[in-house]
Amino acid sequence: MMRLVTRGLMFGNLFEVRAPALVARYNRALEHLTGKRTELEEFHIDISGYSPEIGDEFNDEFYLNPDGFNRKFILLSIDQKKCPLLNVRLSMSQDILRSYIEQNEEQLFVLTARDAVVGELINSVYSVDSPSDLFTIRTIEVEADTIGSDVEASEELSEKIEQFMKHKDGWWDDVLIAEMIELSKRTGNILRDPIHLARQTFEQKSFYTSHFGGIYLFRDVQEPGIINVNGAHDLTDLSLEYNCSLDNHYEIAAFLKINDLVEQITNTTLMTNSLAVLQQKMDFLVIDAAASNDEDLSNVSRRDLRDLRRKHRQDLPEAYHSLEKLMKSIIAGQQHFDLKPHDPAYFYLLRSKNHANKRLVNMLLSQLTPLDFRQLFICHKDAFYSAYRSWSDAKKSYVARFLEEEYILDKSGARMQLFGPEPAMEENEPEIEPAIWQGPWGPASMEQ
C-alpha cells in the first residue's frame, strides 16, 4: 500500500501534529476519551482526530470509534475540516463533522487556540445487533467541549450571572460572587467573548454502513429500499419495497429508476464529453485483462492500449464488448440507447442525478462497476483499498500512477467531468503537490 501513501492516494491531506504543545494537548484529549496516551512525538490526524500512526501503535484502528456508531473526535484546529475521514463506518459521519466545524468555526477557533475540543457523534442507538436495528438510526447529535469543560463552565457562569442580575440582593451574596469569579478565571469575559457550543442534531434517513458486510439504506425516497452488499445476513424480514443483494441487478436497476436517482452519461445534453468518459472506462477494462495476463503496464501509452486491446481481445469482459458496440452507435449518430440491467455494461453508463443522495448513489454505482477503479477510488475509498490489495503488482503500479497523474493533479476537473456540478461530491480537501507531499510515516523508500 506504500505506493498509494507516497503518492498522496492514501492517508493524504491529514493534519500534521508535530509541535510539542499540540502533541501534549492531543495526549490530554486522548487520555480524557480513551484512557490511553501515545508515545509518538509527531503524527497526522483526520477530521475526527484519528491518527493512522497511533492506530498502528495501539494495534487498534478504531480507538476513537470502538462501537462503530458513536464516533469520538478530537479537534486541535479548525483546519481539520479540510481533512478526510478515515475508517468510515457510517457514510454521513464526515459530512456531519465538517458541517459542525463550519457552523461553529468562530467559537472553535477561540477554543482550540488554548485547548483541545473533544466530543462525540451521539447516535440514536448505541449499538446494533441485527440489520433491522439500522432502522432505529434517525438522528445524530454532536456534543463537544474542551478537556477543561470550558463550554460547560461558560454555561454555568451565564446562569449565575443571570441569577445575580435578577436578584436585587445579589451584591450581598458573597458565595455567588465568589463562584462567578472562580468560573471567570477559566472562561474569561463571556459577555465580551461568549463561549458557546450548542448541541446540534442532524437527521439521517439514507446512508451506507460497513456493518454487516456493507448495507445501503434509502429511506427518503419514493420507494424505500435496502441493498445488502455481500449477502451475508438475511434481510428478508425487513419490510421494504426493494430489498436485494448487490448482485441482483434487476432489482437495483428498478429501484434506481422508480426513484429517479440516476441518468445515463451518454445523454449528450448532460455530457458533451461522454465519448471520452466511455473510452476511459473501456481502457480500465483493458488494463484489468492485461494485468491478469501478466503484461508489463509500465509507461503504457495510448498506442500500447490499442495493442493490448487487440492482443487480449478474447480475455476482455463482456462489459467491454457492450461498451464498444455502444461507442460505435454513438459515433454513427444514434441518440437512444436502451440497455437492459442484464447487460454487463448497464451500470457503467449511469451516474447519479443531482439530489440529496447523490454521493450515496454514486458510491453504490462504484461498487456495481468495480473495474472502473477511478470511480471506486473517488466514491468508495474502503472498497477501493480492499480491491487494490488483491490486484497484481502490475495493475497496482498502473492504477497508482494513473490516479496520481490523471486525478490528483486535477481532482475538481475530473469530478466535474464524471459527476457534474455538485459540491457535495467533492472530497473537500485542498489540492496538493504530490512531489512534496509527506504524510504519515514520511516518504517510503520502496513500493509494496
The predicted-structure confidence for 404-437, as pLDDT tens digits, reads as follows 988 888 888 888 888 887 644 344 443 333 333 3
Cα dist. 291→5, 295, 387, 398, 419 in Å? 22, 5, 14, 9, 28
Model confidence at 261: pLDDT above 60: yes
Model confidence at 179: pLDDT above 60: yes
What mean pLDDT is reported for the chain? 82
Q: CA 294 to CA 299: how far, in whole Å?
A: 15
pLDDT value of position 387: 94
Better-scored residue on pLDDT, 178 or 195: 178
pLDDT in tens, 104-125: 898 888 888 888 898 899 886 7
Backbone angles phi, psi at 86, to 5 degrees: -95, 160
pLDDT value of position 432: 35
pLDDT value of position 156: 59
Q: CA 29 to CA 182: how far, in whole Å?
A: 23
Report helix, strand or coil for 111: helix
- Residue 424's Cα: distance from chain center in Å? 11
pLDDT value of position 171: 64
What residues pair up with 218 in beta bridges, in sequence order? 225
pLDDT value of position 53: 95
pLDDT value of position 70: 87
Residue with cell 452519461: 265
Model confidence at 283: pLDDT above 60: yes
Model confidence at 177: pLDDT above 70: no
Better-scored residue on pLDDT, 444 or 31: 31
pLDDT value of position 135: 82
Q: What is the pTM of this model?
A: 0.81
Lowest mean pLDDT among 206-215, 247-256, 407-416: 407-416
Model confidence at 321: pLDDT above 80: yes
pLDDT in tens, 360-399: 999 999 999 999 999 999 999 999 999 999 999 999 999 9
Model confidence at 222: pLDDT above 60: yes
Q: Cβ contacts of residue 310 below 8 Å, gap of 6+?
A: none
pLDDT value of position 254: 94
Smallest CA-to-CA distance from 6 within 410, 343, 403 is with: 403
